[in-house]
Every structure is written in structure tokens, then in C-alpha cells.
Structure 1
Amino acid sequence: MKDIQVDVLVVGSGNGGMTAALSSHILGAESVMIIEKDKCYGGTSAMSGGGVWVPCNRYAKAAGAADSLDEAFSYLRETIPREDTSDEMLRTYLKYAPEMIDFLHKNSDVRYESLAEYPDYFSSATGAKFGHRSMEPAPIRTSDLGEQFRYQNAPNPMIKVFDRLQFTQQELHLLMGQLPGWLTIVAREFIKYILDIPMRIKGKQSRRLTMGAAGIARLRLSLLKRDIPLHLNTKLLDLILKDGRVVGVRAERNGTPLIIRAKMGVILAAGGFEHNQDLRVEHLARPTNAQWSAGSRCNTGDSLLAAKRIGAATRLMNSAWWTNTVSVPGESYPRLSIFEKSLPGNYVIDSSGKRIANESQNYMSFIKELHSKHIDSNSNEPYHMIFDSTHRKNYIVGPLFPGKMWPDFLIPKSYFKNGFLSKENSLSALANTIGVDAKALAETVKQVNEYAEIGKDRDFGRGDSAYDRYYSDPTVKPNPCLAPLAKPPFYAMKLDAGDFGTMGGMVIDGQARVLTSSGDPIPGLYATGNCAMGILTTYPGPGSTLGPAMTFGYLAAKHLTGSA
């Protein structure tokens, strides 16, 4: 059996793990190693939008944004239950998240851009801001990573336009609503794509990386410059204890067993358990299905289970980072359905033919409402997004580009064969096809048409908040989130109660040390990301998972290197 000795071992190669490894090395650990279970690095982080929610960050300050940590704390305290997260942990996050960003900016190739107009998700709460609290990674080129880019996890299918081009979050905001300037952006990137002859010889993918792919690429580039090894196809089996201290791990690389000893400590950053169906059934709300998750398929709870075996306490195991997903035939992962259900004329119904909640609210809150209305004995699934030909013509819905660009005869037949997409010339026929009560569906459509006319959603208040209106069409009056569903043919796209990771995990303290049920730290063991308990549990703004993952990875590095 191979025996390896390092100062610091990091398990997992997402934003949290890479930040922990990079910070450990910068702060003095001579030998740092990352192991990754998957054949690619980056985990769910590489597939994500890449946003990082950090109030008072350097990029917001440079843009002149008015904010304070006290305002941010007031906002978090009003929107996150005290039983979820303590004052101490919230203040720790707010204090050290900007410091972590400064540290990476000064010591690595990590760069972000402030999202000036992306509002906090609970925009009417005390201390909420309408922009400059979330950042997105600055774009980077695949060629900057050289051959290493071949091993980076691919973005979620929703992020690649035409399965080729990648755009920033700010650009996608314009594209989704077809707001002024969107055509210029598409034309600019398409021309650059066509003229990049060397890349066209190699394949169809653009050289430009954005969002989560750019965030991981920048971290990976920084690791490469410091010769920090990252070993793929290496699965954690167990933690090794000696005199009550974690001194390493037992692992398996390409089927070969090995022991990796860590002199300073082991940092677990290996994601949640979203693709472990047994754990989902044991802990999560119904309906639940691993196939609906957009999280990395290697996230089966290995590090969580290993930590529990040596006495680690867990919290928040009954929740996840919820979002609607759509499982498109032929695609490798479900798409996150965040944008389209907010656009006017698109409504979500359950098996009764009735709406569930405000479709334009943040995705986490929407699924929480869905779960609250689900009864196992009388399931309200399946769920569908319904829309008419006017909406189909003008907006993106899942994999469908607007009909004025991509008419129905170009839609793959496979979309219709398995019930993913339905199309009928009448509402009654559509109800029959998707298996809902025709009278209930007709009444739902009558109501939304009335609400669109008066500009007020009397059932759920759709369009009332600033966040609701972020993904909307400002040309639609009087409410940019509401439009009638009136012109045939009518469509229904199947929607799932998905997620992009689980929230529950190991209990940690303000230094990212893993704690036992009695509250004592397990010496030598740290955790961050989705294998640790959630911090910003209600998802108060874009990037509420990656921000804490990176921050507590940084804090783990500070503690184990003696730099705290």
C-alpha cells in the first residue's frame, strides 16, 4: 500500500477546496495536496453560475457602492432563522469573506467583477441592497490553463449558448430578457468565436470561460503556478485517527489503495450527498430524486459519512439548496430553471392544474413552498411550466430558444416522446395530455390573465419585489412579470423539484474545525462547502454557497498554519 506524507490534505476540488489548498500554501504549508473523486476537477462549482455573495468586497468598494457590515448583518439576521445560524457565525462570515477576497486578489489569479444590479433575494428586508453584494468571476481563456483544461468539469448545459458560447451573468441578464444591447453582445462573441481559427480546428467550444467555469479555472491556474498537486480519480475511504487526532486518510486511486498522512490537518470540501438516494430519502423533504439534482454526480456524501464514523456532529440534514430543474432528453445534467419561470406569461402548475407559488421569487423559496404543499398520500407532482405561443415566440424556455429564432419544426422529436414537452391547440387538450383537471387549468389561466391585465397577482404577489423584477420584461405593462396566456398553441414543459447540492453536513466552528456532538473540535479535521452545515441557509443572495465555502476554506487554512 502506497504511503504519502504531506502537510495539508484537501478532499474535494471545488471553490472551497481549491481556496483552502491555495491559502494553506500561501500561508506557509510547504506540501499541500488535493484529491478529487471524479475524473475531472471543479465539482459543482465548475458547473455553476459562479456567483459569490460577499458584502463590502473590494470590487464593490471600487465601484463606490454604499454598504456596511452592520447593514449586511441586519439583513441576514432578519432573513435567516436563529436556529439555523448563530450571530457569531454570521459575523464571522461577514468579517472574513471580504478579507478572503482581498487575500486571493493579492496572492493569486483569482479576479471577480461586482454585479451592480443583481439585488438581494429578499429585497424588502431591512439592510437589503439592490446590487454590489454579489460578484462573478472575471472571464478567462481555456488556453491559459493549457492541457489542464481538458480535465475541468463541464458547465451546466444551461450556461452554454448554442452549446458553444459562454456569457457572463450580466450578459445573460440582457439576453434572457432581450434587453437593449443583447444583440450586440451575441454578435460580438459570435464573431470572435468564428474568427478564432485555432480553436475551431480543435473543436466547437469557445475559448472564453465565464461564471463558475471561470472561477474554477482561475483557482486552478493559481494552483498550477504553485505546483500544488491535484489527483483525480482518488476516493476518500476513511479518516485516520491517532490519539484522538485526524492524521490522514485512507483513499483509493484508480483502484489502488493508499494512505495519505497530513501533518497539519485534513480539510474536507467534497460536496454534499445529493446523489445518494438513500440519504435523500432518509433526510430530505418529498418529493426527492437524485436524478433531479444539478450537483456533481460524485457528491454521494463520502466525506460526511467518514466524519460521522469518527464522531462528527451534523446539522441541517433535512434541507438542500433547492431550485427548479428541467431534465432535457439527451443532456448530461438537469438544467437549473431560474430565469424563464420569472418571465411574463410563464406559469408553474402542479398535478391539480393550479399554480404553486410566486414563480418570480428566488428559486430556494419557491421550492420550499412547493414542499410545504406536497402530501405523500396525494402527491402534487408532476409539475409543469405552461405558456402560450406569444411567450414561445419571444422568450427562452429551458432548452428552447425563442420561436422567432427557433421555430417548432426544429424542436427535437425526443422532447415530445417522453412527455418532457407537450403542445396542443387548446387548453383542454393540453390538460388531457399532461394529466391535469381541465376545469382547474382553465380557471388558473383565467385568473392569471386577469392578473396580467390589472398588473397585480392577487394570489402570490408576483412582481411586487425588486428581485421578482430582475428577470422580467420591462416592456410588459403594467407588471413586467405578468402576461396573459391566451394565444394557441399552448405548451407545457415538465419541471422537477431539484437542487444544486445539499445543505446539511458536519458542524463546524468559526475556524472551520469539525465539532463533535458535545461541541469539542476534532483535532486535525476541518470542513467547508456542502459537506459542512450551511451558513446562509435561506440563500439570501446570489452566491450564498460559494461565498461561505471559500471563506471557511480560507479560515481553515489560517488556523492549521497558525496564521489565525
Structure 2
Amino acid sequence: MNETYDVVVVGSGAAGMAAALRASCLGMSVLILEKAHKFGGTSATSGGVLWIPNHGLGTDDSREETLRYLNAVIEGDVRRDRLESFVDQGPEMVAFLRSVGIDLQVMPWSDYFAEYPGARADRSLVCPMYDGRRLEEEFHLIREQFTRFKLLNRYTMDFNEAFGIAAKAPGWIATLARVVGRYWKDWGTRRVTRRDRLLSLGGALIAPMRELLRKRGVELRLGAAVKKLLMEDGRVCGVEVERLGHTRLIRASRGVVVCAGGFEWNQALRDRYFTVAGDRRWSSTPEEANRGELLLAGLEVGADVEFMENGWWVPTMSRPMPGVSNFHEIHQATFDVGRPHSVCVNREGDRFVNEACGYDRFGNAMIQDHLKTGKNAPCWLVFDATFRRKFPAGGYMPSPIMPDRSIGLGEWDHYIYKAPTVAELAVKIGLEPARLESTVQRMNEYARSGVDPEFGRGNTDYDRTFGDARVKPNPCLGHIGLPPFYAVAIDLGDLGTKGGLKVDDRARVLDTQGRPIPGLYAAGNASGSPFGNAYPGAGGTIGPAMVFGYVAANEMARALAAPSGSRVAASA
């Protein structure tokens, strides 16, 4: 072996950073390997939300209430020990992060199954905006947010600012001016880079962990692709790494923690495992990043897998990347599909879901409808001029920000469709006109009554959170009648995969006989979700990822501690 560390962490997203930070604080030497030339992984480009029930930050949540909720929303078999490990270790992980100086704030967002027993609106945590100068030269190496999370692909916004501007909430113009103004007042940064110095959302989560690791002397090696897990006497003892065309063998005396993401960008694996494979290009994670290399490496050393049939679904759409020839950008339509003055239909012109439900539930409904009809994935978001004025539709911002005249001529009737009547719009998008007209007419009746008898749109706190309070009597149902009418195709996108290496309640990777593989751990989307196919609330991906990264470090510390005078205290 060319180098030796106690712990090698593969991947620099939230799971990897949490594992590395905890292991370093427990006294172990750590190396982080990242195959990309930027760090932060999918986490840095995400909303950066952690779903951690009973987190202890001033709420009256409880273990019992959490398990009551999870038991209600999870369908199918999951391993109880792992589920309870997440519930029990989550508050401990939050306490650890706060003890090392990472600020976490409670967001008043409803759980995604708000109608189920035990649901709450205080289990999601975020980090406040972060000043990128604290990373010094590494500020330029953290993954940048996608266009969808920045105003005009330039200005950093936090959640409240983004939601207020997108929905044109009261005071949105002042918010817009504040966001733009603070950027241009930052003369020092403007002389160096176009990039906004402030980091929010996923960047605000990754950056403070990396700052702490830098202070502790933990190396983050970029452009380092792990090609193989190395075995010695039945134990994973290190990794084979390729960097700059050279191969190195790196020993991990205590263990390798696989936090390298899932396999959503590997079409062969999607085709092999997913119920409805979809196209890898529909994914909203960084392009070509998560291809499942470490999943395949795990299989080579005898690891088992679980929950491989599904992803963390989110409705997405694509449009040409402005100013860049021949490239497309994927845009999430996370909340757009449930806004008033719109309806989602399959390719027969029929509704198939409560459009305002959680985005993962929306994706699962697309799958079920596609299995039934063969006419979904993609489906259509149909809306009128009122919607167009108020709300974004994937990559198309509201018309006061992005008027129709600013949309490229080559995009009309190829990416976004427009017609003076619903019937003419139906013809353009290949639907039977009378059928789409009938669907829109029913939606208008529901808007007048405030009741959706088909799917209950607007019945839950979650639905109403992303509606329009100015629309009465139901903030999620608005009349679809002001011409022109528009449509965009909605794809079965994802935030990553729910399946991966099978791990136990101590984050140890299991073989096909259910036995831990010594020296091998996994967390995040590299491992199977503790929730199976469920997505319980905002941050349901990153929360467990960080918890099991933390758990893996604790497990390695326990394994290292000797009965007398160990150099690492497992309780540290």
C-alpha cells in the first residue's frame, strides 16, 4: 500500500462529510476521496435539508410519535433495527453537529404524508447562509447550485426568499431587490469571480463541515476515482484509486465508508432494476456523477443490495441551456405541478394524482399510472395565462421575470407549448381535444367548489403550503380559463436512487448471507434507504445519509477501542 489512514471515505457529499467529521473528532486519521473535480456531491446542489425527527431543537416531538408516523407511511418490509437506529441516532448526530459549531434551524414544513397519524411540521432542518470566504481557496472548488436554485443563474437565495419571489408573495419586489443588491454591493468578490460569495441550501450544509475538516487537517482529494475495494484475509483493507492517470493503493486500517451516491446515471442498472426505468437524463442530480461504481465494487466483494427498484422521485422537465449550444438543463418542477390554475394529465388527457402531493408520491403515481395505461412518464402540466404570470413551470420563470418574448424561438412547440384554446393546445401535444377539455372543465368546477372529489387536492397541510393563499376557497385549485394556454412535458425525474448496498443498523455492509463484511461501511444513496420506498418528509434523503455516516464513524471507533486504555473513546 502506498498510503495508510485509519478511515477512507469515498464521496464528499453530506454522508461522507458527516462520516469524516465524526471520525476525525474521534481521533482517527481520515482521507476523503472524490472522483469529481468539485466537492460536495449531489448534496451541495440540493436543498440541503435534513429530516431528523425528535431532533431536540425546541419541539415536543418524541420517539414514539416518530415511529407511529413511519409505521403509517412505510409500505412493504423494512428492517426494524435499522429504522430504529435512524430514529435513535438522529438526535445524537444533531447534538454532535451543534457541539462542533454547525448551526441548524427548524423549518415549519409539513411532513409529506400530512394526513397520516404522527405527522408534524417541524422535523426538517436547514443551515443558514454561509460566507464562502471562510473556505479560502476551496470556495472555488465546492459544487455550485443548479440554475433552478439561483435567481437568474447568478444570485443566491435562501428558501424563504426563493419561495417568496417564485410565488410573488407580498413584498416579493423588495425581496428581489435585497437579493440582487447584496450581490452587487460585494465589490471584493465581484473583482475575482461572477459567483455569489454567499452559499445557501446544500452549499450551506456542506461548506461548514468542510471548513471544520480543513481546520482538523483532513485531506479532501479531488479527481480521485475508486476503482476497486481491496480485500485481505476476508476484510476490506483499502481501495485502489486512479488519479491523473496513475493508480495508487490506499490502506484503510479501520474501514472504508462508501458514501459515493447511487446509480441513477447508469442506464444499464436502471434498466435492470427500476420498475419503470426512465431515462438517466431525466435525473436532476449532477450529470454523469452517480453511476454506481461503488455499488458494483461492493458486489464484487460479495455485498448484498436492497430496494433497488425505486428512486427518490421528483417531476422534472428539460429545456435548452441558455447561452450554451447543444446542451440541455434539467429543471425540477417539484411544487409547480400542484399550483392553482393548472392540471397534470397523462398522455390520454386524464388526471392520475393529487398534483399537490409530495414530489416522491407524484413520481410513484406516474409509475403506477404508466404500468396501468402505458401513457405516463412523461406526462403533461397544462396551465393558463394566470398560472404563467404567477408561477414557474420547471425552467420557465413567471412571465414578469421571463416574458414569452424572452423564450427562444426554437423552444416553442418543442419544450413549451402555447395555444389560444385548450383544444388547440391538445392537438399540439398529441391529446384528444375533447378529453383534455373535459378534464379542464372538471378542474374548473372543483376550483369553484373548493373540493376535488377525484384526488383530494388541497385537503392536507402539505398541499396548502405550496398553494396560493389568495386563491379561494381552495389555495390549490384555481380556474384554468385565461388564454393563452400552455403545456410542458413532465418527466419521471429523481433525486437519486433509494436502493444500494445492504447495511445493518451500525452502517456495516452485509453480504448475501446477512453477515457484515469486515471493514466496509456505507451511508447515503450508496446504501438502501432505511424507509424502503417511503419519503417521509423534506430532507428524507440527507437526514439518514448523515446519521449513518455518523453511525459508521462511531462503529469504527468502537472497533478500535481496546478494553484498557484505548486511544479513541467510543463515547467521545
Instruction: Pick the TM interval, shorter chain.
Output: over 0.9
Distance 1:81 1:395 in 2: 33
CA deviation digits over 1:176-204, x for unaligned, max 9?
33333433332222221121112222333
Aligned twin of 2:46: 48
Identify the residue that residue 443 of structure 1 maps to in structure 2. Answer: 438
Q: Matches of 1:287 and 1:441 in 2, distance apart?
A: 27
- Listed one character per residue, the Cα deviations across residues 103-133 of structure 1 (whole Å, up to 9, x for unaligned) are 12212x4222110x2111111211111x221
Gap change, CA 1:188 and 1:254, over 3 Å in 2 = same
Q: Which moved more, 1:172-181 or 1:248-257?
A: 172-181
The answer on 1:353 being equivalent to 2:353 is: no
Percent identity, aligned pairs only?
Answer: 37
Contact 1:250–1:260 (CA<8 Å) still a contact in 2? yes
- Residue in structure 2 matched with residue 408 of structure 1 by the alignment: 404
Aligned residue in 2 for 1:484: 479
In structure 1, the residue matched to 2:79 is 86
2:133 aligns with 143
* Per-residue deviation, 1:426: 1.6
SS of match in other structure, 1:385: strand
- Supply the distance in 2 between the matched residues of 1:554 and 1:380 (Cα, whole angstroms): 39
Name the structure 2 match of 1:235. Answer: 225
Give 3-state SS (helix, strand or coil) of 1:328's partner.
strand
Output the CA distance in 2 between the equivalents of 1:394 and 1:336: 17
Pairing 1:201-212 to 2, within 5 Å after superposition: 201-212=191-202
1:221 equivalent in alignment to 2:211: yes
Corresponding position of 1:272: 262
**Paired amino acid for 1:46:** A
In the alignment, the residues of structure 2 paired with residue 345 and residue 287 of structure 1 have an alpha-carbon distance, to the nearest angstrom, of 31
Q: How far 1:287 sits from its partner (Å)?
A: 4.8
How far 1:77 moved relative to its partner?
A: 1.1
- Mean CA deviation greater in 41-50 or 323-332: 323-332
Which of 355, 363, 368 is matched with 1:367 structurally? 363
Matches within 5 A, 1:264-303: 264-296=254-286, 297-303=288-294
Structure 1, 347-356 or 209-218: larger mean CA deviation: 347-356
Deviations 1:504-523 (A, max 9, x none): 11111111000112111111
Shift in Å at residue 225 of structure 1? 1.0
Q: Does 1:71 align with 2:65?
A: yes
Conservation of the 8 A alpha-carbon contact between 1:345 and 1:391: yes
- Out of 375, 380, 389, the position equivalent to 2:385 is 389
User: Which secondary structure state, in structure 2, belongs to the residue aligned with residue 561 of structure 1?
Assistant: helix
Pick aligned residue for 1:112 from 104, 109, 116: 104
Aligned to 1:152, which of 122, 139, 142?
142
> What RMSD over aligned residues (CA atoms) do the two structures have, in Å?
1.6
Rate the CA distance shift 1:19–1:354 in 2: closer, same or farther, 3 A: same
Opposite residue 73 of structure 2, the aligned amino acid is T
Query: Contact 1:323–1:364 at 8 Å: present in 2 too?
Result: yes
1:426-437 matched pairs, under 5 angstroms: 426-437=421-432
After superposing on structure 2, the runs of 4+ consecutive aligned residues of structure 1 that deviate more than 4 Å are none
Amino acid at match of 2:66: A
Query: Alpha-carbon deviation of 1:56?
Result: 2.2
| 1:381 Cα offset (Å) | 4.4
- Residue deviations 1:2-58, cap 9 Å, x none? 7111111000110000110111010010x2101111111111101100000112224
Give the direction of change, closer, same or farther, for the CA distance of 1:535–1:560 in structure 2 (3 Å limit): same
Asked whether the 8 Å contact 1:19–1:553 carries over to 2, the reply is yes
Q: For structure 2, which runs of at least 5 residues remain unmatched after alignment?
A: 322-326, 559-569
Task: Give me the TM-score of the superposition, normalised by structure 2.
Answer: 0.94
Cα deviation digits, residues 323-362 of structure 1 (max 9, x gap): 1011121166412211211211122122112222111000
- Report the alpha carbon displacement of residue 317 of structure 1 after superposing the two structures with TM: 0.5
User: 1:336 is matched with which residue: 329, 332, 336?
Assistant: 332
Aligned equivalents of 2:233 and 2:80: distance in 1?
A: 33
The CA deviation string for residues 522-564 of structure 1, in whole angstroms up to 9 with x for no partner, is: 1110000001010133111000010111000001001112226
Supply the distance in 1 between the matched residues of 2:424 and 2:46 (Cα, whole angstroms).
Answer: 37
The partner residue of 1:323 within 314, 327, 330 is: 314
Please give the secondary structure, in 1, of the residue aligned with 2:239.
strand
* SS, match of residue 210 in structure 2: helix
CA distance in 2, matches of 1:361, 1:298: 28
Structure 1 residue 407: Cα displacement? 2.1
Length-normalised TM-score, structure 1: 0.95
Q: Which amino acid aligns with 2:70?
A: L
Distance verdict in 2 for CA 1:278–1:57, change over 3 Å: same
Equivalent residue letter for 1:519: G
In the alignment, the residues of structure 2 paired with residue 316 and residue 513 of structure 1 have an alpha-carbon distance, to the nearest angstrom, of: 17
Partner residue, 1:182 = 172
Cα distance in structure 1, aligned partners of 2:549 and 2:160: 27
2-side partners of 1:439 and 1:349: how far apart?
13
- After TM superposition, the structure 1 = structure 2 runs for residues 8-19 of structure 1, keeping only pairs within 5 Å, are 8-19=7-18
The question of 1:28 aligning with 2:22 is answered: no
CA distance in 1, matches of 2:375, 2:153: 35
Give the paired residue count.
553
- Counterpart of 1:194 in structure 2 is 184
| Contact kept? 2:366, 2:377, Cα under 8 Å | no
Letter in 1 for 2:311: A
Contact 1:168 1:211 in 2 (8 A): yes
Q: What's the offset of the Cα at 1:401? A: 2.5
Is the CA contact (8 Å cut-off) linking 1:248 and 1:259 kept in structure 2? yes
Secondary structure of 1:480's counterpart equals coil
1:381 & 1:126 partners in 2: Cα distance?
Answer: 31
- Bigger Cα displacement from structure 2, 328-337 vs 489-498: 328-337
Distance 1:414 1:146 in 2: 42
Q: Give the equivalent residue in structure 2 for 1:311.
A: 302
Going from structure 1 to structure 2, the CA distance change for 1:207 and 1:332 (only over 3 Å counts) comes to: farther
Partner of 1:57: 55
> What is the match of residue 514 of structure 2?
519
User: Is the partner of 1:364 in helix, strand or coil?
Assistant: helix
8 Å Cα contact 2:229-2:239 kept in structure 1:
yes
The verdict on how the C-alpha distance between 1:376 and 1:234 changes in structure 2, with shifts beyond 3 A counting, is farther
Q: Deviations 1:271-296 (Å, cap 9, x if unpaired)? A: 00000000000111225110000123
Work out whether residues 163 and 205 of structure 1, in 8 Å CA contact, stay in contact via their aligned partners in 2.
no
Indicate conservation of the 8 Å contact 2:335/2:359, yes or no: no
Which has the larger displacement, 334-343 or 260-269? 334-343
Matched, 1:506 2:501: yes
Q: State the distance in 1 between where 2:526 and 2:129 align.
A: 28
